[in-house]
Copies of this chain bind each other. A is one copy, B any other.
Amino acid sequence: MITGKNYIGNALSAKGEMTYQTLNPKLNVANATSFTEATSEEIDLAVALAYQAFDTYQHISGEKRAAFMHAIADEIEALGDTLVTTYMSETGLPEGRAKGERGRTLGQLRMFADLIKTEDWRNPTISGEANELRQYLMPLGPVVVFGASNFPLAYSTAGGDTASALAAGCPVIVKSHPMHAGTGELVASAIQKAVQKTGMPHGVFSNLNSAGIEVGVQLVKHPMVKAVGFTGSIRGGRALYDLASQREEPIPVFAEMGSINPVIVTQNALNARSEEIAQTYADSITLGVGQFCTNPGLILGIKSPEFTTFTQNLGEKTAAIDANCMLHPNIHTAYEKNGAAVISQPDTTVVAMHQDTVQENYAQAKIGTVSGDAFLKNPKLHQEVFGPFSLVVQCDDTQQLLQIISQLEGQLTGTILAEQEDYKDLSPLIERLQNRVGRIIFNGVPTGVAVVDAMTHGGPYPASTDSRFTAVGNQAIKRWVRPFSYQGFPEELLPAFLK
């Protein structure tokens, strides 16, 4: 069922010489299928087909595009256990996570289908003298999607970026993630079936294999590509952003990238529930082996005997959690390396780390700590360590805490753990934090992103390359559309929803 070929519109293609395999990180052995890297000609063909499909696809009614998206969800469901076992074999993640993420992926596809069943999402607006101006949101053109290593379903082939772009009326070319190329191909085959079953234009979707950077570079530079969605590292996202902005015709890139998701704990919160917070955060730091963009990588408090106890407690509880397998040896190696780099900084120490001997590719969770002074002076301590790691910062006082917040790089989230008696003093903290993040969580954990209208998943750079949009929820569709106005048009030449 998994062929290792590229999906170019409705055809399978494998013209290249270069191949690669995915890896089962739990067994540390390669999976069977050889995937053929897309050639330059195959890339050009996929983009040309997408460009051509755009002519038709953008004018297909919302109702029909919605049926297409429902069909994608249904076909993904119909993949059944094959998808789950392939997912598990390429990620080391457990069955529950595979099924949960599949559910979320189906939910997203159906959510966008519901959104576009009517044309309200296009924000149809009529104004001007004698109502001569009629505006709506129209799609930008072919969109390239780079899937995420840590969300093989929900943020990859038919994930949030693809679903929102297809919903908007944009054809999509996916640059398949090499760590889960099999999962990607299965989902691509479901989309291909849905294209055929619902009569969508050939080329509205393609899936290109690639283990290197060349395919992605060629896609982003292609003049017929009009926007890019990406989820991954700062380095990767920035490289694509740079390519896109240096084109003769620059195009928008929405890259959702790094974040250390600061958490601020007040003294009152510690007094009231230090144990409970330590357990909740040990769980949050190690959830999904820490491989979430909203993982709490930075915990800030003001030094006190209680904060010292909390730090110790958090370390012990985190270290006590069973070790688990990371997505890929490269990710595990980076975790070890980046964690060690943080801990080796001046004044930085390990509070606790998981002690059991672990299998290959399993992560040993770790908590570090550092003074507020040292953290302020050293940007290396602000780097994301992707995995089950968090750094606890012992601030001298509120002023230093506020200074640290003000100087932090942009983040997806910030969290405040506080008690009612703190409320009257929280404004300065909330205001500063708000200028650095896309979302503030109160007395909760940042992990777990609800797919709802009021969700902001994005934030000031480098959390994302364009903080004016969210990557999660219905409003993610806005990334792929632009306003367009008809002026003085006769009724019969207007789309029905603008009459």
Spell out A's residues near B (CB within 8 Å): 54-55, 59, 125-129, 133-135, 138, 140-141, 241-242, 245-246, 249-252, 410, 420, 423, 426, 430-431, 434-435, 437-444, 450, 452-456, 458-462, 465-470, 475, 478-479, 481-490, 492-493
List the B side residues contacting A442 at CB < 8 Å.
486-490, 493
B485 and A456 contact, CB distance less than 8 A: yes
A133 and B454 contact, CB distance less than 8 A: yes
Closest 6 CB pairs of A and B: A133-B454, A245-B245, A135-B454, A456-B485, A127-B452, A127-B454
Distance of A471 from chain B, by nearest CB (Å) = 11
Q: Give the distance in Å from the alpha carbon of A170 to the alpha carbon of B17 in the complex.
A: 54
B440 and A486 contact, CB distance less than 8 A: yes
List the B side residues contacting A438 at CB < 8 Å.
482-485
| Contact of A439 (CB < 8 Å), options: B245, B462, B468, B487 | B487
Distance of A253 from chain B, by nearest CB (Å) = 10
Q: Give the distance in Å from the alpha carbon of A140 to the alpha carbon of B437 in the complex.
A: 11
| Closest partner residue, chain B, to A446 (CB atom) | B487
| Contact of A484 (CB < 8 Å), options: B135, B439, B465, B466 | B439
Distance of A447 from chain B, by nearest CB (Å) = 12
A434 and B488 contact, CB distance less than 8 A: no
Q: Give the distance in Å from the alpha carbon of A210 to the alpha carbon of B454 in the complex.
A: 43
A488 and B129 contact, CB distance less than 8 A: no
| Contact of A250 (CB < 8 Å), options: B441, B461, B484, B490 | B461
Distance of A396 from chain B, by nearest CB (Å) = 22
**What would be 14 A-B contacts, judged by CB atoms less than 8 Å apart?**
A55-B431, A126-B454, A134-B454, A250-B465, A423-B493, A440-B487, A441-B487, A442-B487, A442-B490, A443-B488, A444-B488, A456-B485, A468-B478, A468-B483
List the B side residues contacting A486 at CB < 8 Å.
439-440, 442
B129 and A450 contact, CB distance less than 8 A: yes
A485 and B128 contact, CB distance less than 8 A: no
A484 and B434 contact, CB distance less than 8 A: yes
Q: Give the distance in Å from the alpha carbon of A458 to the alpha carbon of B481 in the complex.
A: 13
Q: Give the distance in Å from the alpha carbon of A434 to the alpha carbon of B486 in the complex.
A: 9
A455 and B128 contact, CB distance less than 8 A: yes
A454 and B125 contact, CB distance less than 8 A: yes
List the B side residues contacting A444 at CB < 8 Å.
487-488
A252 and B488 contact, CB distance less than 8 A: no
A141 and B245 contact, CB distance less than 8 A: no
Q: Give the distance in Å from the alpha carbon of A127 to the alpha carbon of B475 in the complex.
A: 13
Distance of A468 from chain B, by nearest CB (Å) = 5
| Closest partner residue, chain B, to A478 (CB atom) | B468
Q: Give the distance in Å from the alpha carbon of A492 to the alpha carbon of B442 in the complex.
A: 12
A128 and B454 contact, CB distance less than 8 A: yes
Assuming the contacts A128-B454, A133-B450, A465-B250, asked whether A435 and B141 have C-beta atoms less than 8 A apart, the reply is yes
Distance of A77 from chain B, by nearest CB (Å) = 24
Given contacts A127-B454, A250-B461, A252-B468, list 15 more A-B pairs with CB under 8 A: A59-B431, A125-B453, A129-B450, A135-B453, A141-B435, A242-B245, A249-B410, A249-B460, A249-B462, A252-B466, A442-B488, A455-B485, A468-B479, A468-B483, A475-B483
B487 and A434 contact, CB distance less than 8 A: no
| Closest partner residue, chain B, to A427 (CB atom) | B493
Q: Give the distance in Å from the alpha carbon of A305 to the alpha carbon of B259 in the complex.
A: 66
List the B side residues contacting A489 at CB < 8 Å.
440, 442
List the B side residues contacting A468 at CB < 8 Å.
140, 252, 478-479, 481-483
Distance of A421 from chain B, by nearest CB (Å) = 12
**Residue among A444, A454, A468, A488 with most chain B CB within 10 A:** A454
Q: Give the distance in Å from the alpha carbon of A443 to the alpha carbon of B489 in the complex.
A: 8
| Closest partner residue, chain B, to A136 (CB atom) | B454
List the B side residues contacting A488 at CB < 8 Å.
441-444
Q: Give the distance in Å from the alpha carbon of A489 to the alpha carbon of B441 in the complex.
A: 7
Q: Give the distance in Å from the alpha carbon of A116 to the alpha carbon of B420 in the complex.
A: 32
Q: Give the distance in Å from the alpha carbon of A410 to the alpha carbon of B484 in the complex.
A: 13
| Closest partner residue, chain B, to A241 (CB atom) | B250
Q: Give the distance in Å from the alpha carbon of A313 to the alpha carbon of B128 in the complex.
A: 32
List the B side residues contacting A492 at CB < 8 Å.
423
Q: Give the distance in Å from the alpha carbon of A189 to the alpha carbon of B128 in the complex.
A: 32
A482 and B467 contact, CB distance less than 8 A: yes
| Closest partner residue, chain B, to A59 (CB atom) | B431
